[in-house]
Amino acid sequence: MARKELWSWLKTIILAVVIALLIREYVLAFYVVDGSSMQPTLKNGQMVAVNKMGYRIGSLERGDVAVFEPPKEIVGSTEERVFIKRIIALPGDTIEIKDGKVFLNGEELAETYIDAVMEQDMDPIQIAANTVFVMGDNRHPRGSWDSRTFGPIPIDTILGKAELVIFPNPHKVR
């Protein structure tokens, strides 16, 4: 009898682990913010819940805060790391930075989530198919390493959308 009960417990534990791994891979994951590139929206050490299903069944939107795998030449081929940045421009958009402001398709972008203007201009670029332009909310000098540095990112490197700050002070990511 004890052997049957042990086997039952083992099957339950294995099933729970498999379900948890599937959820982590395809539905919901948790990441800890490392650095200040998304301040004031996200702060170093905060834990965020990332919806991994949203982009599988929905589409990317400007203003989404996305978690993605950075280009390997940026972080090194052996380091496993993810970046969290705001999607500013989608495929086909033209983006330009002048006089400290972001212009999207010729119109100034209203960015209520930043607390500083940028010091460096950027000539207009058109975003290629299957890529997006991402920026950190920290626009202070050297505040964020983003598409201004490494260019637009492939859409297929995006892991999901940051939806909630879990710890500390739970709230929606805006």
Give the model's pLDDT for residue 174: 86
**160 confidence band (pLDDT: 50, 70, 90):** very high
Tens digits of per-residue pLDDT, 6-56?
888 888 888 888 877 777 777 788 999 999 999 999 999 999 999 988 777
**Rounded mean pLDDT, 91-108:** 96
The CATH number that domain 27-172 falls under is 2.10.109.10
Residue-wise pLDDT tens digits, 126-143? 999 999 999 999 999 889
Active-site positions? 37, 85
pLDDT of residue 5: 84
Q: What is the pLDDT of residue 84?
A: 96
Instruction: Work out the average pLDDT over 100-127.
Output: 93
Contacts of the segment 67-71: beta carbons below 8 A, 24+ positions apart:
67/29, 67/31, 67/158, 67/159, 67/160, 67/161, 67/162, 68/134, 68/153, 68/157, 68/158, 68/159, 69/157, 69/159, 70/150, 70/153, 70/157, 71/150, 71/153, 71/157
Residue pLDDT, tens place only, 62-99: 999 999 998 777 666 555 789 999 999 999 999 999 99
Q: So where are the chain's domains? A: 27-172
